[in-house]
Amino acid sequence: MLYRITARVPWCSSELDDKGVRAATGPGRSFSGEVGMTISSEEHTTAIEKAAMEVRSLVAEHLGVDSKLVSDEARFMKDLGADWLDCVELIIAVEEDFGIEFADDEVERLVSVGDLIRSVEAHQRIATN
């Protein structure tokens, strides 16, 4: 991923690095540049876990099952007793709650709670990029 980073660094001077990227490295100067890296932040992790908890809650609510049964491995039809219509209604509820839309072929691959959580997270990543 490429992130645009701007930071004010009080202790450096401006110079080119070995790749020809200008780095502001002097008193009161700012650095601004693009870097390829993955940022792992507490906020990102919290947002992902919040989405997972919301999906699990929607599953329990729409399928009328105890939330303790709603694990990532739980399959909608085999483990949670959902029928085809229950699954369709659940998908619609998730789409409305998260403001996303699943493609038909994607819906066919959503067999377990974990599948649904990962798909919601993927849609959220796409929306934020």
The pLDDT averaged over each successive group of 10 residues in the chain (129 residues) is 42 44 47 46 70 96 96 97 96 96 95 97 85
Which of the residues 83, 86, 97, 115 is marked catalytic? 83
At 127 the pLDDT is 80
Domain hosting residue 76, numbered range = 42-128
23 and 62 in a single domain? The answer is no
Active site residue 115: no
Domain co-membership, 64 together with 103: yes
- The reply to whether 13 and 51 lie within a common domain is no
CA-based nearest residue to 47, from 111, 112, 117: 117
Question: Do 32 and 46 reside in the same domain of the chain?
Answer: no
25 and 75 part of one domain: no
3-state secondary structure at position 52? helix
Query: Residues 77-94, buried b or exposed e (16+ Cβ, 10 A)?
Result: eeebebeeebbeebbeeb
Say what the pLDDT of residue 84 is. 95
Measured CA to CA, the distance from residue 110 to residue 112 in angstroms comes to: 6
Structure confidence at residue 93 (pLDDT): 97
Count of domains forming the chain = 2
